[in-house]
Structure formats: C-alpha cells, structure tokens
Amino acid sequence: MPSPQQTPGFSEQRQANWIAKQSEVTERTVVQRRGQSFFREMILSNYRSRCALTGIDDTRLLTANHIVGWQEDDAQRFYPENGICLNALHDRAFDRHLISFDDDYRMIMADDLPAESKRKLAVGASERLQLPERFLPDPAYLQHHRQRMAERQSMPPLD
C-alpha cells in the first residue's frame, strides 16, 4: 500500500523529484500587453457586459476576444470591430480556432472536434452572435479567422 505522500500509479521517482523541488524558488517576469485592459473595457462595454453567444453576464467569466490575433496584426489590436465578448469556454475554443463565425454571425465548429464536444459547446449558445448596436465584428476579420481555422485543420497533429 502506498504511503500517504505517494500517489498510486504515479512514478515514485518522479514524485520524489517533484517533492524535492517544492522548496525551490523561481523568479518570473510577467509580460502584460499594453492596452489589453483598455481593449477589454471597450469590448465588454460594446457588448453590454454579456457574452455574445450565451448571454452570460458575469464579467468574471467574460473575455474580450481578438478576431485577428494580437500578435498577427498590431494595426488591428485596438479596433472595436476586431473584438467579440465571449465567455471563458467559447473564448478558449475561438482562440484555438475550434469555433468561428460565418458571415451571418452563426457559430461554425471545426470538423475535427469530437461530436460530444460540439454538442456541449452548443448548449446554451444562441444560433447567432448577439450583436452590439455599434462596432459589429468586421466580416473581413471573421473571414481571416475562418481561414486560420481551415489552416489549423489541414495541419498534421503534433506528436
């Protein structure tokens, strides 16, 4: 029977190494993107602090997504038309190009998503994005995002 400090099925040597390192101190530098908080405030305000897909209104669960990624085009970073307010789950899927939106603002799911994941992503989601009164997502940015999703799907998986 394993001791209380050992996890069954986990390499005992690996666990011993991990326990030994717990007293080590690591120094880290945090990089914060300038203007990120401004972009978040702008996008959440534009979407009335609601997820455009589910209507969730708890700001702790909302993110300001860039349609064209922050690192892809610095000229587009702060355009409100380059942002969508999404909840944390759909934000993650959008950032990883697992979902996107068509020209009618309907959610598109990647072909390589398992059926169960597709089903769960659809739970509570509206058929179309709930659009703000101003600064609609730019169709050209959405087209770019869909292209990135298609490119991701055509790449061989990482081993």
How far from 77 is each of 2, 14, 39, 41, CA to CA, in Å? 53, 43, 8, 14
| Across 100-113, average pLDDT | 96
| Across 132-153, average pLDDT | 95
| Across 131-142, average pLDDT | 95
How confident is the model over 50-86, as pLDDT tens digits? Answer: 999 999 999 999 999 999 987 776 667 778 999 999 9
How confident is the model over 18-54, as pLDDT tens digits? Answer: 677 777 666 665 555 555 789 999 999 999 999 999 9
CA distance 60 to 63: 8
pLDDT of residue 21: 74
Instruction: Report the percentage of the chain scoring pLDDT > 90.
Output: 64
Judged by phi (left if over 0) then psi (alpha if -120 to 50, else beta), residue 135 lies in: left
pTM: 0.75
pLDDT of residue 34: 57
| SS3 of 38-93 | HHHHHHHHHCCCCCCCCCCCCHHHEEEEECCCCCCCHHHCCCHHHEEEEEHHHHHH
- For the chain, give the mean pLDDT: 86
pLDDT of residue 72: 73
pLDDT of residue 22: 73
Tokens of 21: 């390192």
